[in-house]
Amino acid sequence: MNWEQIGASWGLSQKTLQLAQRAEQDVAQRWQEYDELGRTNHLKVLGACQDFGLGAHHFASSTGYGYGDLGREALEGIFSNYFGTEAALVRPQIASGTQAISAALFGLLRPGDELLSITGPPYDTLRTVIGTEGNAIGTLKDWGITYREVPLLGGRANLEAIAEAIGPKTRVVAIQRSRGYSWRPAFTIEEIRQQVQAVRSVSRAIIFCDNCYGEFVEELEPTAVGVDVIAGSLIKNPGGGLAPYGGYLAGKEELIERIANQITAPGLGREVGGSAGLARLLLQGFFQAPLVVVEALAGATFVSRLFELAGFPASPQSQERRGDIVAAIELGSAQRLEAFCRAIQLAGPVDSDVTPIGAPMAGYSSQVIMAGGTFIDGSSIELSADGPLCPPYIAYLQGGICRSQVQIASCLALEAVEKII
């Protein structure tokens, strides 16, 4: 980038420009690796489209019940091919990643069964689904499903404890790939492989993985290393910035059918539910998603290095292998967290004049501040940042369809943060 020109246009200080130039140099090798990753995964998606025989006729929409919807069949066939699974469920009617995960848990568990999280406590909204937090009605706990978790050991899965924790009632073993609102790193595919092996050494329980923020970050997906079912949101990585809403699940056919019965109705399963005229948009988003994820990875690596150079802790560190697209920056005060998020909002193409403030949010125990000047509301493959307003005041930055936007936004955020003593 021409940092001198950018500095003049955006009013950046010489100090910030020097740090940005150094950060860009320091991550150059990582960027090359990401670009190669993007090409590899993009060609795999291309192959999935061609293997399916995708044609313009698959973009046609159905009405009513959606029987024989060609767009739905194309979406699910291509997702299943890419993820290497027997079946997939890809629906615009799934409102969020949380809904996809909730449907999986309710579809796979029955009263008296146990859900075991082997990666510590799950993300805040999932705790509400389970029934360990909040006062929601209709949780897993309400249905007589018990829950336990295996604490992490130094931010990593405790493989020995996993094998010991699985009991006769353990029906589903859950892995959360991304960090959520925590300082621990996202899990790489190799780490997930080890977790699966620890489970399989003692049990044939169903292994489920929340794959949000992790799609296309590596050449393999969790289903390639023994995970039975994965789930995620289309307004994150696999939507490529084009999907307006939706979610997906992929895995073994028998399990996907059980989950489909939960989403539609027992006996109807995957046979109903149209693509709502969105097949072309969702497929095009999936086709370009590997290249978009590379931009997000490059941006996350840059912001981590920039803030490292300025003396702020970053997780993962800029040279560490990443398991997702999220960069966490520890800021140490509510004022700095607010300043960070407001600067990210300022750098967005939409609602850049809006000032984010902290507010209560359903499913979260603390007030949360969120910045997202995005075309799709809540899209976190587009550039966004958020964090709970509680110690140690960590900003979680994710997304960025173009790495240059992330670079400018992170420079503005650094200057905003450094103004606060």
> What CATH homologous superfamily does 3-41+287-418 map to?
Methioning gamme-lyase, C-terminal domain (3.90.1150.60)
Q: What is the pLDDT of residue 363?
A: 63
- What is d(CA 89, CA 272) in angstroms, rounded to the nearest whole number? 11
Contact 249, 102 (CB under 8 A): no
Q: What is the pLDDT of residue 4?
A: 82
Residue 362 has pLDDT above 80, yes or no: no
- What is d(CA 49, CA 283) in angstroms, rounded to the nearest whole number? 9
Q: Where are the alpha helices (DSSP H) in 264-392?
A: 279-309, 334-346
Residue 365 has pLDDT above 80, yes or no: no
Fold match between domain 3-41+287-418 and domain 63-275: no
Q: What is the pLDDT of residue 1?
A: 76
Tokens matching residue 275: 């693509």
Contact 115, 105 (CB under 8 A): yes
Domain ranges of the chain: 3-41+287-418, 63-275
Q: What is the pTM of this model?
A: 0.96
Which band of pLDDT confidence, cut at 50, 70 and 90, is reported for residue 6? confident
Residue 421 has pLDDT above 80, yes or no: no
Q: Encode pLDDT of 326-346 as tens digits.
A: 999 999 999 999 999 999 999
DSSP result, 208-257: EEE-TTTTTSSSS-GGGGT-SEEEEETTSGGGTTT--S-EEEEE-HHHHH
Tell me the mean pLDDT in the region 345-359.
95
* Residue that the structure tokens 């993009």 belong to: 42
Residue 69 has pLDDT above 80, yes or no: yes
Asked whether the CA dihedral 52, 213, 89, 94 is positive or negative, the reply is negative
Q: Encode pLDDT of 228-245 as tens digits.
A: 999 999 999 999 999 999
HSE (side-chain half, CA atoms, 13 Å) at 151 = 2
* Three-state SS letters, 92-111: CCCCCHHHHHHHHHHHHCCC
Contact 383, 348 (CB under 8 A): yes
* Residue that the structure tokens 């910030």 belong to: 16
List the helix and strand counts (H, then E) for the chain.
Answer: 12, 12
Q: Encode pLDDT of 248-262 as tens digits.
A: 999 999 999 999 999
- What is d(CA 384, CA 181) in angstroms, rounded to the nearest whole number? 14
The one-character DSSP state at 170 is E
Q: What is the pLDDT of residue 5?
A: 87
The residues, ordered by sequence, that sit 6+ positions from 421 with a Cβ below 8 Å of its Cβ are none
Exposed / middle / buried, residue 343 (Cβ in 10 Å: 0-12, 13-18, 19+): buried
- What is d(CA 301, CA 325) in angstroms, rounded to the nearest whole number? 9
The residues, ordered by sequence, that sit 6+ positions from 334 with a Cβ below 8 Å of its Cβ are 358, 389, 393
Radius of gyration in angstroms for the set of CA atoms belonging to the chain, rounded to a whole number: 21
For residue 273, give the nearest of 56, 100, 64, 57 by alpha carbon.
Answer: 64
Q: Encode pLDDT of 397-414 as tens digits.
A: 999 999 999 999 999 999
Q: What is the pLDDT of residue 381?
A: 98
- What is d(CA 398, CA 410) in angstroms, rounded to the nearest whole number? 11
DSSP result, 310-334: TT--EES-TTSPPSSS-EEEE--SH
CA dihedral 340, 343, 344, 345 (to 10 degrees): 120
In terms of CATH architecture, what is 63-275?
A: 3-Layer(aba) Sandwich (3.40)
**Element spanning 18, H or E:** helix 14-26
Mean pLDDT for all residues in the chain: 96
Q: Encode pLDDT of 95-126 as tens digits.
A: 999 999 999 999 999 999 999 999 999 988 89
- What is d(CA 113, CA 394) in angstroms, rounded to the nearest whole number? 36
